[in-house]
Amino acid sequence: MFTTASLGIYDLLPATAGSLAQALHLNADALQRLLDANVGLSLLEKRGEAYYNQPVADTYLRKDSPHSVIGYVLYSDRALYPMWGHLEEAVREGTHRWQQTFGTAGPIFDHFFRTEEDLRTFIMGMHGFGVLSSPEVVKAFDLSRFHRLVDLGGATGHLVIAACESYPHLRGEVFDLERVIPVAKEMVAQSPAADRITCVAGDFFQGELPESDLYSLGRILHDWSEPKIELLLRRIHDRLPRGGGLLIAERLLNDDKSGPMNALMQSLSMLICTEGKERTLEEYRALLMDAGFGKVEGKITGRAVDAILCEKL
């Protein structure tokens, strides 16, 4: 799947193996074997000599699909997959593998996001995940008492969009790095709630956070070590009014860490590519209470991420 996506084949179907091989300058026999393997994986189907996308490939593996996760697939192919080859060293040393794999000691995502196109492709891949999971996250709790939601590190704004579309009185703000904001504005503009959503550039580790009675962190905390999480949570707590809330979207491990499997594998992935890991609800509760929060509740959503809501007492 990674190789087929990297070659752009899902965007070119239907087509025959011969015409694809000629257009992409590939070995015809090798390409046919790749396409047949996709058929075996139920990603493609073959009608006569032509190959067609199955609905799952059309929905998630074409760049022009509104639900595409192709950016994350390409990131997995070009960044995660090579680093997984160094899992043994990661386990020995307890550190990510960016420098060992790519020879860079800079910020961990800089290697993959060298161009604006790379950044956009990844962000839109994460947008595909968000479109699937964010509606369930914002419905996990009753958010009707809140008036303004600021999503810190909000990327394309999928969580803010889902919240504002679910709560007609709610106003929202996407807060992310400056280079992300143009993509966020583009996605927000497509929402019927666009007139209640703004996009603002900033760094949640530095400078003053926007004023709000509800903040959200979607797939942010699992990137970072405990000291950085503690810093961020205290910044949010200090900025909130009494009774204000923090909504967190992360995969939750079982209390005994026996599963679920996707969270266990994600935690290993975080080991090789970030400073962070996946955690149990009790581990998040401890971090949140240390920062001054109370009334910590968790809900399993059945989607790619689960939901936690806590309150400043």
DSSP strand pairing (279-280 vs 252-253): parallel
The terminus-to-terminus CA distance of the chain in angstroms comes to 48
pLDDT, average across residues 57-62: 96
**Residue 174: count of CB within 10 angstroms of its CB:** 29
Cis amide bond preceding 55, omega within 30? no
| Same domain membership, residue 120 and residue 39 | no
| Same domain membership, residue 148 and residue 28 | no
Which of 72, 78, 20 is CA-nearest to residue 44?
20
Q: pLDDT > 70: what percent of the chain? A: 97
CA distances from 279 to 3, 221, 290 (A): 32, 10, 16
Which of 59, 35, 58, 57 is CA-nearest to residue 47?
35
| Same domain membership, residue 267 and residue 142 | yes
Which of 308, 306, 309 is CA-nearest to residue 259?
306
Residue 107: pLDDT band by 50, 70, 90 thresholds? low
The strand ranges marked E within the chain are 15-16, 44-47, 50-53, 148-152, 171-176, 197-201, 214-218, 245-250, 252-253, 279-280, 293-299, 306-312
What does the block give as tokens for 294?
């109370």
Q: What pLDDT score does 108 carry?
A: 60
pLDDT, average across residues 129-155: 96
Residue 123 has pLDDT above 90, yes or no: no
Q: What pLDDT score does 75 carry?
A: 86
The helix/strand/coil state of 94 is: coil
- With beta carbons less than 8 A apart as the criterion, state whether 61 and 68 touch: yes
- With beta carbons less than 8 A apart as the criterion, state whether 171 and 143 touch: no
Query: For the domain that residue 53 is a member of, what is the CATH number?
Result: 1.10.10.10
Residues 208 and 149: their CA atoms lie apart, in Å, by 16
The distance of Cα 119 from the centroid of its chain, to the nearest Å, equals: 13
Residue 110 has pLDDT above 70, yes or no: no
Q: Is residue 79 part of a domain?
A: no
| Same domain membership, residue 131 and residue 47 | no
Q: What pLDDT score does 28 carry?
A: 96
Domain, as residue range, for 276: 116-312
More confident residue, 67 or 15: 15
**Residue 197: count of CB within 10 angstroms of its CB:** 26
What does the block give as tokens for 137?
């996250």
pLDDT, average across residues 235-244: 98
pLDDT, average across residues 182-186: 95
Report pLDDT digits (tens) over 24-46: 999 999 999 999 999 999 999 99
Q: Is residue 160 part of a domain?
A: yes
Residue type, 277: K
Residue 281: pLDDT band by 50, 70, 90 thresholds? very high
Residue 115: pLDDT band by 50, 70, 90 thresholds? confident
Residues 299 and 56: their CA atoms lie apart, in Å, by 28
Residue 52 has pLDDT above 80, yes or no: yes
Q: pTM above the 0.95 mark?
A: no
Residue 109 has pLDDT above 80, yes or no: no
| Same domain membership, residue 121 and residue 35 | no
Query: For the domain that residue 120 is a member of, what is the CATH number?
Result: 3.40.50.150
pLDDT, average across residues 123-135: 89
- Which one of the listed residues 96, 127, 158, 222 is annotated catalytic? 222
Candidate from 105-114, 147-156, 212-221, 240-249 with smallest mean pLDDT: 105-114
Q: Is residue 123 part of a domain?
A: yes
Q: Quote the mean pLDDT of the chain.
A: 94
Candidate from 119-123, 253-257, 276-280 with smallest mean pLDDT: 119-123
Residue 71 has pLDDT above 70, yes or no: yes
Number of domains composing the chain: 2
Residue 105: pLDDT band by 50, 70, 90 thresholds? low
Q: What pLDDT score does 139 carry?
A: 97
Torsion angle of C-alpha atoms 188, 194, 196, 201, degrees rounded to 10: 30
| Same domain membership, residue 243 and residue 132 | yes
**222 belongs to the catalytic site:** yes
Q: Report long-range pairs for 85-89 (Cβ below 8 Å, ≥24 apart).
A: 86/272, 87/268, 87/271, 87/272
| Same domain membership, residue 289 and residue 159 | yes
Residue type, 311: E
- With beta carbons less than 8 A apart as the criterion, state whether 191 and 161 touch: yes
What does the block give as tokens for 239?
């900025």
Q: Is residue 267 part of a domain?
A: yes
